[in-house]
């Protein structure tokens, strides 16, 4: 039941961001290559939306526990507010901007919200952070960093330098298809003349 509710609460904002992102054209669309906020990029958006929801639920639970004790310590809630704010900004730039700096800022946000924030929580607030949480956070940030750096879709959507290699490949593919079509037309004319 709870998983179903989380799925719906994740799917609705993800769909809204998908619709919002469709209104902006890709920075450098390349023929025969994926572009736009679809595919794995949309999966990333869904994971960020889910992270926002889970962080908000955790913050609300913390506020409820503190209010039962009679005091609210904003130092406990402030990391959640910062994380939610950074993730909302990340979703906004992914949906509305089509420039290479979006990829850089998204990668920075991934690392700041993930492993770096866990380290700061442990050092500044003396919180006990489980090793598996740090490992999961590092893996999440590392995998999505690799995706943002090497994805054709991200390169075409935001116009990163990686898209230049895709443009060259797309031109070669288009020329090969044009040559193949010319050969087929020539063969058809030759057969027709016989």
Query: 24 near 98, Cβ under 8 Å?
Result: yes
**Do residues 120 and 93 touch, judged by C-beta distance below 8 A?**
no
CB 93 within 8 A of CB 105: yes
Q: What is the mean pLDDT of residues 6-22?
A: 93
- The answer to whether the beta carbons of residues 155 and 163 sit under 8 Å apart is yes
d(CA 86, CA 91): 9
CA atoms within 13 A on the CB side of 53: 18
Helix, strand, or coil (residue 27): coil
In the prediction, which pLDDT does 163 show?
65
Check residue 173 and give its pLDDT: 79
* Token pair 């058809």 in the structure block, residue: 188
- Asked whether 66 and 27 are in contact (CB, 8 A), the reply is no
Reported confidence tier of residue 160, pLDDT bands at 50, 70, 90: confident
Asked if 59 and 81 count as a contact pair (C-beta separation under 8 A), the reply is yes
pLDDT at 177: 87
Within its chain, how far is the Cα of 88 from the centroid? 12
Residue with tokens 């913050």: 59
Position 13 confidence tier, pLDDT thresholds 50, 70, 90 = very high
Q: Is the pLDDT of residue 48 over 90?
A: yes
Each domain of the chain, given as residue ranges in start order, spans 2-193
């Amino acid at each position: 039941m709870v998983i179903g509710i989380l799925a719906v609460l994740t799917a609705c904002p993800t769909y809204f961001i998908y619709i919002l992102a469709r209104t902006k054209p890709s920075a450098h669309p390349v023929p025969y290559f994926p572009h736009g906020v679809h595919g794995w990029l949309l999966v990333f958006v869904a994971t960020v939306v889910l992270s926002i929801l889970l962080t908000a639920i955790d913050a609300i639970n913390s506020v409820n526990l503190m209010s039962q004790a009679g005091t609210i310590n904003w130092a406990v809630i402030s990391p959640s507010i910062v994380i939610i704010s950074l993730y909302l900004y990340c979703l906004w730039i992914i949906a509305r901007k089509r420039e290479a700096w979006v990829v850089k800022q998204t990668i920075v946000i991934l690392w700041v919200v993930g492993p770096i924030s866990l380290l700061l929580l442990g050092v500044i607030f003396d919180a006990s952070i489980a090793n598996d949480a740090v490992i999961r956070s590092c893996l999440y940030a590392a995998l999505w960093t690799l995706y943002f750096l090497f994805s054709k879709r991200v390169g075409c959507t935001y116009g990163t330098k990686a898209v230049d290699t895709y443009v060259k490949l797309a031109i070669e593919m288009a020329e090969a298809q044009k040559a193949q079509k010319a050969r087929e037309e020539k063969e058809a004319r030759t057969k027709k003349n016989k």
